[in-house]
């Protein structure tokens, strides 16, 4: 993943809620030239099962507030690997050990990554009071 692609406004609405939480890492991969089922994969790493569940629930809630409903949701309660399918964007939230085992970044290494550096600096984390 040496190439990069700019962050789009459409993708930002999915990333803002993720950056509101203290994640270990966030990566977005532009896969539209490689697959027909989605345009972007977002890979989020949490430190624990509990954090994976909390991040997933927060994303679902915030996106629903924006009238964006998931087409499918898997693994939120288990907390090892949650998958939130929004059609053009698929969000994976992994616990660290599971993330390194599946290595989606390595699998999609030919696809360009989305440049999130500008976006990360622009987002102010939300208060932790609404996490639970």
Asked if residue 58 is part of any domain, the answer here is yes
Taking alpha carbons only, the member of 38, 53, 39, 123 closest to residue 93 is 53
Q: Is the pLDDT of residue 120 over 60?
A: no
What rounded mean pLDDT belongs to the chain?
A: 88
**pTM for the whole structure:** 0.87
Give 25-65 as a DSSP string.
EEEEEE-TTT-SS-SEEEEEEESSHHHHHHHHHHHHHHHHH
Query: What CATH number corresponds to the domain at position 42?
Result: 3.30.460.10
Tens of pLDDT, residues 97-119: 999 999 999 999 999 999 888 65
Helix (H, G, I), strand (E, B) or coil at 73: strand
Residue 132 lies in a domain: no
Predicted pLDDT of residue 5: 86
Asked if residue 97 is part of any domain, the answer here is yes
Q: Whats the size of the chain, residue-wise?
A: 132
Of 56, 65, 27, the C-alpha closest to 44 is: 27
Residue 132 in this model has a pLDDT that exceeds 80? no
**Overall number of domains in the chain:** 1
Range of the domain at 20: 4-123
């Amino acid at each position: 993943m040496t190439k990069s692609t700019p962050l789009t406004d459409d993708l930002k609405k999915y990333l803002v809620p993720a950056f509101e939480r203290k994640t270990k890492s966030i990566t977005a991969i532009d896969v539209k030239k490689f697959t027909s089922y989605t345009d972007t994969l977002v890979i989020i790493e949490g430190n624990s099962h509990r954090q994976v569940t909390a991040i997933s629930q927060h994303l679902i809630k915030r996106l629903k507030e924006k009238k964006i409903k998931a087409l499918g949701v898997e693994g939120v309660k288990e907390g090892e690997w949650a998958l939130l399918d929004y059609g053009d964007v698929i969000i994976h939230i992994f616990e660290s050990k599971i993330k390194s085992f599946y290595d989606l970044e390595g699998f999609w290494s030919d696809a360009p990554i989305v440049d999130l550096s500008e976006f990360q600096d622009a987002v102010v984390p939300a208060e932790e009071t609404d996490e639970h």
